[in-house]
Structure 1
Amino acid sequence: MTGYCASRLVTGVLGWNGHCLRAPSTVPLILQIRNTFILQRRTPPGLTKKNKRPKLRSRHYVYDLVEDTNLRKQENLNVILTSYVQGLGVKGDRVSVKPKLAYEKLLLPGLAVYATRENVKMYEESVDKEEKTPAFSSASVERTVGILSRQILAVVMNLETEWTLQPWHLRISFRKAGFIVPEYAIELPEEPIKGPNLDLEGKEFKITVTINKSETVPVRCRIHHWSTNPGDRLPYVQDHWQQTAEPLFPDNQKSFQSDQ
């Protein structure tokens, strides 16, 4: 052969004159991987004289794994938001999030930068010059408003004792549904709702909830009568929130139809 065509990673097929007849189909991809393992000798070597090499035997090359740094829990990463991010904050806010979330959702899309001294100083000056008008009073308000606007709250009232619907009734109903809502943040309809009255059973009305004394969101509610006597209890309605209900006040008919 008059020629040679080969390499450590790529080899072709040689012809009669030594030239490559075809290229390889695949080329291995070599990437640098950073791994750090903390090891400890199982048998420590003996003392050695100064400026002398230690006399090591095969038993001295047996190691025990102390720690694999890849399995170490990573600390949160501090970043500065460059624009509004739902659930985190507005431009200029410094947040601490998990590294995976920071890399994939914030740094790569350009929604945040590392919280270095230069970036902290730069964004403090830029935010001071701009009029900082956040869309919401806190980072979690937008998500809370969305959840409450889709909620259909079941208000369980007594079938045997007379009652007039009060904010504390709604506070307890919210607590049963997993929400902590103070009484001062609940605004009832102007017309009083009194019972027990089976004509109100399953009918829907709206209340207004104020979040952080700033944002307001309407919440749909349905009244359900309950009795301590099992014989007087009304039949259980499976998945009542998936069924359409009549409005308690006819004036709200259009608003309920738009929500549905």
Structure 2
Amino acid sequence: MIRTLIRPLQSARVIQIPIRTTVIVERVHPLTKLRPWENIYDYSKYKYIDFQYRVVRDTDTEKWGNIDVILAEYVEGVGYKGEIVNVPREVAYRELLPAQLALYPTKENIALFEEERKLLVDRPQISPFVMKCRDYLKSILLQIPMNLKLKDWSVTRDNIRIALRRINVMCDEDAIMLEENAVNQDTYKLGEEFNVVLKINPLVDVAIKCVIVPVDKAKLWDEYQLSKRKPKS
């Protein structure tokens, strides 16, 4: 079975992706009985109801599940060269295998990457979820609420931790690499961005872009008190 995909704005370029599929059917009605001397391949002997089927199983509409592949190159967030990984079939058939980034884990292909597989024993293993977390934190601009009306203020690790918690990222203060009093009323200009390094694990860290958002705590407290006085509808 071959599907033809035409990319938008590139109507002249046609990509054909071979897809293996299986469809299992069964007859709706029992087959008409023929006499012993009649030819079973003479379709004129059959009735219309003899060609009615119902689909029992269609592998093309089922969930694909996962498949094991051996990586031919390093793929970020998936694994190292020579590593056998279990990935969704959709990712394997549409991304890894067509681009020759992975192969089926046959005996010949495993032997082909024998040297790389020996190096994997001493190489630290990094979870794909760690890399996704790193990519997410690299793409955000972390807003740090701060009361700038105070005479002496500075950004602390606790401020960073609370700001991360507001975007559903939990971490310990020890994982935040920030020098004490590095960002304060003397060194920071309003609207200026600065970086804070977060250690996701002993092997991976990420620099997060941060910006301070002025917050008047007294005003917020007054609004909170007013909201409590409003009658519930």
> Scaled by the length of structure 1, what TM-score is found?
0.56
Choose from 207, 210, 222 the match for 1:221.
Answer: 210
Give the aligned partner of residue 28 of structure 2.
42
1:75 alignment partner in structure 2: 65
Q: Provide the secondary structure at the position in 1 that maps to 2:113.
A: helix
Shift of 1:60: 4.2
1:215 Cα deviation (Å)? 3.1
Residue by residue, what CA displacement relative to the aligned partner does 1:162-204 show, whole Å, maximum 9, x if unpaired? 9764423312211323433332211222326678x9x875454
- Secondary structure at the aligned position of 2:95 is classed as helix
What is aligned with 1:236? none
Tell me, which stretches of 5 or more residues in structure 2 are unaligned? 1-17, 224-233
Tell me the SS of whatever aligns to 1:229.
helix
Alignment equivalent of 2:157, drawn from 146, 164, 167: 167
Report the alpha carbon displacement of residue 96 of structure 1 after superposing the two structures with TM. 1.9
Which residue does the alignment assign to 1:248? none
Aligned to 1:95: 85
- What letter is aligned with 1:153? L
Match of 1:181 in 2: 171
Instruction: Quote the Cα distance in structure 2 between the aligned partners of 1:132 and 1:119.
Output: 21
| CA distance in structure 1 between the aligned counterparts of 2:142 and 2:160, rounded to whole angstroms | 9
Letter in 2 for 1:68: D
Which residue in 1 is equivalent to 2:74? Answer: 84
Structure 1 residues 126 and 138: alpha-carbon distance in aligned structure 2, compared to 1, 3 A threshold: same
Match of 2:140 among 110, 127, 151: 151
Is there any run of 5+ residues in structure 1 with no aligned partner, and where?
A: 1-31, 234-260
What are the residue-to-residue correspondences of 1:9-24 with 2, within 5 Å? Answer: none
Cα pair distance change 1:59/1:211, threshold 3 Å: closer
Q: Does structure 2 retain, via aligned residues, the 8 Å contact 1:159–1:227?
A: no
Contact 1:164 1:192 in 2 (8 A): yes
Q: Which amino acid aligns with 1:77?
A: I
Aligned partner of 1:41: which letter? R
Choose the corresponding residue for 1:112, options 85, 102, 112.
Answer: 102
Q: Deviation of residue 227 (structure 1)? A: 2.8
Instruction: State the partner residue of 1:17.
Output: none
Cα distance 1:180–1:38, how it changes in 2: closer, same or farther (>3 A)?
Answer: same
- Considering only CA atoms, is the larger Rg found in Structure 1 or Structure 2? 1
Greater CA drift, 102-111 or 122-131: 122-131
8 Å Cα contact 1:88-1:140 kept in structure 2: no
2:198 counterpart of 1:212: no
In 1, are the aligned partners of 2:24 and 2:57 still within 8 Å (CA)? Answer: yes
Name which structure has the greater RCO, CA cutoff 8 Å, separation 6+.
2
